Amino acid sequence: DAKTTQPNSMESNEEEPVHLPCNHSTISGTDYIHWYRQLPSQGPEYVIHGLTSNVNNRMASLAIAEDRKSSTLILHRATLRDAAVYYCILRDGGYYGGSQGNLIFGKGTKLSVKP
Amino acid sequence: DGGITQSPKYLFRKEGQNVTLSCEQNLNHDAMYWYRQDPGQGLRLIYYSQIVNDFQKGDIAEGYSVSREKKESFPLTVTSAQKNPTAFYLCASTLAVSYNEQFFGPGTRLTVL
């Protein structure tokens, strides 16, 4: 399985942008890059995903390196509610059956937001 | 409102007892999943089901069993064969296995005494 590497923890100040990095040097051509976040004692929540191009949605932006070996989740203005564990996950989009399409969660990055 | 419900939120059981965790979704999703999360760790896949009456083992299926008799329900039984059952259990669903976004329930925290 393709693996990701994320820092264990990061800190941010409220209302400042946050850049959460993820390395995935063994990514394959059919792997999608997914980001989920998990607030304390809750289930994970989908944030964003992408394949090659940068992506934007109401929650965040995803910047993908040209060689696809790294990506960055960008929260444009951190709020206290953004304090969570953020997971960067590779998901094989090239096979629509079996376990290859399943999400594999690592330990993620714990983001703390200071007022 | 559409979503995934898990009940109960907290569950206590004595060692050696089987226990069944409930997961219901009204999103009309075909695929459903069960994950286990230990403190400070990521999620690990226990079982998944792509369609009614079909399910597959995930990475840590030993000591667990599931059924998928209805599209909206995917109960997980933690049996006495599971060596360390105390954990946070999360259920998720998605439109289909090929679909990109998984929706998660609020979780059940199981403590075995």
Tens of pLDDT, residues B46-103: 999 999 999 999 999 999 999 999 999 999 999 998 989 999 999 999 987 777 789 9
pLDDT at B31: 92
Q: Quick one: tokens of A73? A: 């989740």
Check CB contact under 8 Å for B43 and A44: yes
Instruction: Find, in chain B, the residue whose alpha carbon is nearest to that of A96.
Output: B98
Check CB contact under 8 Å for B100 and A34: yes
Which residues of B sit within 8 Å Cβ distance of A? 4, 33, 35, 40-45, 48, 50, 56, 58, 88, 90, 92, 96-98, 100-107, 109
Check CB contact under 8 Å for B42 and A49: no
In SS3 terms, A12-36 reads as: EECCCCEEEEEECCCCCCCEEEEEE
| Chain A residues with CB-CB distance to B42 below 8 A | 87, 105-108
pLDDT at B104: 95
pLDDT of A96 > 70? The answer is no
pLDDT at B101: 87
B1 pLDDT band, cuts 50/70/90, is low
Of B43, B56, B102, the CB nearest to A99: B56
pLDDT at A95: 54
| Chain B residues with CB-CB distance to A93 below 8 A | 98, 100
Residue B43: name the closest of B107, B99, B113 by CA. Answer: B107
Instruction: Find, in chain B, the residue whose alpha carbon is nearest to that of A44.
Output: B104
pLDDT of A27 > 80? The answer is yes
Q: Cβ contacts of residue B32 below 8 Å, gap of 6+?
A: B23, B25, B48, B49, B68, B74, B91, B92, B93
Of A43, A96, A102, the CB nearest to B104: A43
Task: State the smallest CA–CA distance between residue A49 and chain B in angstroms.
Answer: 8
Q: What is the pLDDT of residues B6-58, one digit of tens each?
A: 999 999 999 989 999 999 999 999 999 999 999 888 999 999 999 999 999 99
Check CB contact under 8 Å for A102 and B48: yes
Residue B57: name the closest of A99, A51, A62, A101 by CA. Answer: A99
- Positive or negative, the CA dihedral B51, B54, B59, B61 is positive
